[in-house]
Structure 1
């Protein structure tokens, strides 16, 4: 049984907005991947930091979902999405491993987006 949180009532009210935000930010990540490896790793930092910001926003929105909702939708990698947010959100200075960020964008985010789209469609 999922842990209950006294804030879940407030989180329930924000559920549609948070799911929409998760989808938007995952789509942003997919868009960045579609620009290609060279655009991500090139001299222009904008794509890297756009992905960085999008991943943090996804994790923030996931953390604001009610625990019961996350438990009811186990096909979404909720824990992984918050983990990525925690990992990239607590790296300071020049220690961001952009290869790890790129690997997450390419390997995991498309499936995460599909899972979120399916959850939203089923509501």
Structure 2
């Protein structure tokens, strides 16, 4: 069984790297939103798949943050980012609900991005 204090120390060592990764992936989502709903839902699947992948990667990095860090920064909806990752990360094929992904990146990601950027500037 892994030593919890060692595991926490390893997580702490990756803190800045994870926060930068989260910020980067959320920024990708905001960039997709700025291209517009027509681009997202259009015949070119690139923007949909990019948002899908960015949400998964952001959620993976959030899961690697310590619970103490997440609790210390309630201005970001960490739990929702992790849930979104779990929800979209286990959907395959044509069953992806693109409307839900679009709603998430439009309604929630911009405020989370602003908060994560603020947190990163203080690390």
- Structure 1 length as normaliser, TM-score? 0.93
Compute the displacement of 1:122 (Å): 2.2
Contiguous gaps of at least 5 residues in structure 1: none
Are 1:8 and 1:67, in contact at CA under 8 Å, matched by a contact in 2?
A: no
Compute the displacement of 1:21 (Å): 0.4
Contiguous gaps of at least 5 residues in structure 2: none
- Corresponding pairs, count: 119
- Structure 2 length as normaliser, TM-score? 0.93
The equivalences for 1:1-123 within 5 A come to 6=4, 7-123=7-123
Are 1:25 and 1:55, in contact at CA under 8 Å, matched by a contact in 2?
A: yes
- Structure 1, residues 17-65: CA drift from partner, whole Å, max 9, x if none? 0000000000000000000001000000000000000000000000001
Are 1:32 and 1:47, in contact at CA under 8 Å, matched by a contact in 2?
A: yes
Instruction: Kindly report the root-mean-square deviation, in angstroms, between the aligned alpha carbons of the 2 structures.
Output: 1.1
Structure holding more helix per residue: 2
